[in-house]
Structure 1
Amino acid sequence: MASMASTTSTSAVPPPAGKREGDISDSFASLSGLNSTPLPDHYRQLKLFLVADRDEATFVASWQRLLAELRTENEIIARLGPDVIPSIRYSHLDEDITTHKEDLHKRGVAIVRSVIPETEARAYKDMVEAYVARNKDKTRGFPPENPQVYELYWSAAQLAARGHPNLVDTQKKLMGLWHADPLAPIDLAQPTTYADRLRIRLPGDARFALGPHQDGGSVERWEPQGYGLGKVYDPVFAGKWEDYDAWDAGHRATAVCDLHSGLGACSVFRAFQGWMSISHVGPRQGTLLVYPLAKLATVYTLMRPFFKPVKPAAVADKNFLDADNWVFTGGAAMTSDLQGATPGHGQEFPDGPEGSLHPHLELARTMVHVPQVKPGDYVVWHCDGIHAVDKVHNGTSDSSVLYIPVCPLTEVNARYLVRQREAFLTGLPGPDFPGGPGESAHDERPTSDAVQGDTQRRGMGLEPFEAGLDASSGAKGITALANSILGFEGK
């Protein structure tokens, strides 16, 4: 089996992206202090293009059906709260995924319990803290005066968690919730590693107050050269949102979700975002909140810029959300507004001068906390899922997680893996993230020898991928292409 040593490079590897230094706040307009300004006229023209030659009555009727569905589903979420989130046991992974499949598809979020033994997962936090202590003056974080989210990607704890056999097994099973045409260039049975940050949020923190948002770009969801390349959302813009399949991975394999090179803007296809808990944490203790309607959240986000209220909230009062109070803004009335979208940043769902920019989601009462978790529990959510963190950590102990998403093998992901592999070998931040020296001079930074096992080394791009015997033609094709991209062709 061909492999790569810790000092090996390849001529196929481009130089590091060279992004400026920064931290997690740079990924979001709200955290970075960016003032809200109207989008360029290009986006008005883009909106006109998206609904050109569409039947307006069909589009409006689609919107009205969506609002009716949201009203019903929001009531259910508000009533159930955290109980709406499916909980799966790692010890019964296949059985529980099958049992909860309908809920998983609808909610787009889950807790997988006890993926890593509790003592082992808690030890990861001790390892991280020791690593930070040894490299205190070299480690960046947000906020800089009292870090809660560290610009760390290559600590021994992160490598161990990402490559843990139980976690890799869980990722493979979760990818089975997605589907793709057999000819689509994607392998949902082979996870790739995406090196992300970690959080150790301390009691009382109110700086890391990240409101409701979607990752994976913002304006890219409307742009033809973004998600439009994969025709991901075409049914929504055709006025047939019910036909949109939020779990079709084939279309997403060719989409581009970062057209503007944002700091921390993810450029790969993450089937799920996720984190591994390395502490005990519950609601209002600095944890995650989600809007548990994966499909409807995305559909509403996409359609909202084409409608405006007849009467503002202050005037319409209790009738503000009624379909009759919302009209289509086409033709000369079209604006460049894409509420909450800022190029180079994540899609946010903030309040504006007249209230929520996405009022029908009723996020004030539908963003629900993830239930109590312990070290070793793995929380995942759909890549389009709206999520947030507690504005204030009101707990008495740290809220600590390792961010670890679920990424299938695609061409985009393989090309990223080449650059990420070089970053790993040199100790620099991953290509999507803020630049600078990273951990290149950190004491006791692990080498590639710390990545053990064939599956784990493949995920890091250190050994060739191998498609299963029953893999589709598309999966076999992308495996061959990925190995060529990674420099393993003919090995």
Structure 2
Amino acid sequence: MSLSIADVPNAVREVKVELHKKSKVLEQTYTEMTASIQAEVDEIKALKAQGKSIIPELDYQAVLHNQVSEEQKALIRKRGCVVIRNTFPRAQAEQWSERIGEYLISNGYYDTPDKGLDKYFSSLQAGKPQIFSVYWSKPQMEARQSENLAQARRFLNRLWTYQSDEVGTVFDPDRECLYADRTRRREPGDNSLGLKPHIDGGSVERWLDRNGFWKVYRHLLEGNWQAYDPFDAAYRTETEEIPSPAVCSMFRTYQGWTALTPQGPSDGTLQLVPIARAMGWMYLRALQPDVPEEDLCSAIAGRALLCSPQWHGLLLDALTSIPLMQPGDSIWWHPDVIHAVEDEHKGQGYSNVIYIGAAPYCEKNVKYLAKQAQAFQKGESAPDFAPEHYELNYHDRATAADLTELGKKQMGLMAW
């Protein structure tokens, strides 16, 4: 489903009037939730000062053998993110890194002029990122369809509330729909990839979509911020997005990537604001009287949702670099979690990853698979991304013959 709005500023003005009529307690709700978020920010700052870990970490074997405690699960839901160590063997991840590099070089990717079609991060970065618009290399497909990843995603999906009396079953946590994304290969010394803190998965539509997003944030609009649970899946598969390259039209339970090289703080890698409820606070922030009536704290249609110093400084105090990652480790974050990329890679080696998130089986995601399967078979860019189509004539590109039975099911090429 997609949302089409001709005059966004006017639509924002109208929806603010409507929401304030709908809820007379938005200012009070915001004030109360601010105090709660401030306490969480202070907790994170105190842990940092003590040199303690902020982002939860698990070992893949603990996930595989159901040895994750309820306390650990609760912390993941609170922080909205988790590192899973040894998701893949180190040697396998390192081999994937080498093979992707060979795939790019042998097919002349570096010699192809940049088509400049992807504007999604245009308001967040100063230069062109070292993210490569290839989707169908064999290493990418091998990683996506692996049983290791399937087990990890089943565990992660089950941290959500995916069934309720209110809406029934929202998604199947044990079946996955593969979402093809790109790969990052960041050179030491690179200072072009830095991305300001932001959230994907929708910007202005979070306030303008009356049928989907309003229901996602229903508790906030009713003045009951304590009941807001970012891991409640109710209505999240019914949201409508404004189409734009790199705006995800699938429902993802997590964004994520798998490390192909060692990388950590100062290596030009990921930073997170590890507060799962932060988007709920940002939602209320945009509806306060000091924000211009046609504005939603600088949100731009079809772009990433910026977490700005002007409007969201409270949250930025909790911005945290991820811990040192080794090849084969994976990191996962809730789609509403604020994330950024360090401005400069100050390390010694490449900072390489394959972007792989989690998109469980549901009607919304199955519809996307049909379009994605066509792109896969033709070698075109994945449907959510700019139609750059670098891989049309690439040799050694993955085909259906390279898919396992699980991979074919996850790609929608075989029935579950």
TM normalised by structure 2 equals: 0.89
Distance apart, 1:156 and its partner CA: 0.7
- SS at structure 1 position matched to 2:208: coil
- Give the 3 Å change call, closer, same or farther, for CA 221–282 of structure 1 in structure 2: same
Provide Cα deviations, 1:404-450, integer angstroms capped at 9, x if missing partner: 01011111100100000010000001110000333111121121111
- Give the 3 Å change call, closer, same or farther, for CA 92–166 of structure 1 in structure 2: same
Cα-Cα RMSD: 2.2
- SS at structure 2 position matched to 1:110: strand
Distance 2:160 2:348 in 1: 38
Distance apart, 1:99 and its partner CA: 4.1
- SS at structure 2 position matched to 1:203: coil
Aligned counterpart, 2:287: 306
Q: Which of 372, 381, 384 is the matching residue for 1:432?
A: 384
- Give the 3 Å change call, closer, same or farther, for CA 243–387 of structure 1 in structure 2: same
Q: Which runs of 5+ in 1 are unaligned?
A: 1-16, 18-37, 310-328, 466-491
Distance apart, 1:226 and its partner CA: 6.4
- Give the 3 Å change call, closer, same or farther, for CA 456–139 of structure 1 in structure 2: farther
Distance 2:283 2:248 in 1: 19
Distance apart, 1:146 and its partner CA: 8.0
Distance apart, 1:53 and its partner CA: 3.6
What pairs up with 1:334-483 in 2 under 5 angstroms? 335-351=293-309, 356-361=310-315, 363=316, 365-452=317-404, 454-465=405-416
Q: Which of 204, 207, 214 is the matching residue for 1:219?
A: 204
Aligned counterpart, 1:79: 46
- Give the 3 Å change call, closer, same or farther, for CA 387–146 of structure 1 in structure 2: closer
- Give the 3 Å change call, closer, same or farther, for CA 224–148 of structure 1 in structure 2: closer
Provide Cα deviations, 1:35-79, integer angstroms capped at 9, x if missing partner: xxx952221111111221422xx3222111112112211111112
Distance apart, 1:89 and its partner CA: 0.6
Count of matched residue positions in the alignment of Structure 1 and Structure 2? 393
Distance 2:320 2:266 in 1: 10
- Give the 3 Å change call, closer, same or farther, for CA 62–225 of structure 1 in structure 2: closer
Percent of residue pairs identical: 31
Provide Cα deviations, 1:129-167, integer angstroms capped at 9, x if missing partner: 000011124767699998610001000110011111111
Give 1:359's aligned amino acid.
G
Aligned counterpart, 1:233: 217
Distance 1:198 1:299 in 2: 30
- SS at structure 1 position matched to 2:413: coil
Contact 1:273 1:383 in 2 (8 A): yes
Distance 1:158 1:225 in 2: 37
Distance apart, 1:207 and its partner CA: 1.0
Identify the range of structure 1 (440-449 vs 176-185) with the bigger mean alpha-carbon deviation: 176-185
Distance apart, 1:188 and its partner CA: 1.7
Provide Cα deviations, 1:438-467, integer angstroms capped at 9, x if missing partner: 311112112111111x322210111102xx
Q: Which runs of 5+ in 2 are unaligned?
A: 118-126
Aligned counterpart, 1:197: 182
Q: Which of 52, 59, 68 is the matching residue for 1:96?
A: 68
- Give the 3 Å change call, closer, same or farther, for CA 152–226 of structure 1 in structure 2: farther
Provide Cα deviations, 1:297-319, integer angstroms capped at 9, x if missing partner: 1111101122256xxxxxxxxxx
Give 1:289's aligned amino acid.
Q
Aligned counterpart, 1:151: 133
What pairs up with 1:106-255 in 2 under 5 angstroms? 106-137=78-109, 148-181=130-163, 183-225=168-210, 227-228=212-213, 231-255=215-239
Identify the range of structure 1 (42-51 vs 74-83) with the bigger mean alpha-carbon deviation: 74-83
Provide Cα deviations, 1:268-324, integer angstroms capped at 9, x if missing partner: 1000000000000010111110001111x1111101122256xxxxxxxxxxxxxxx
Does 2:246 align with 1:276? no
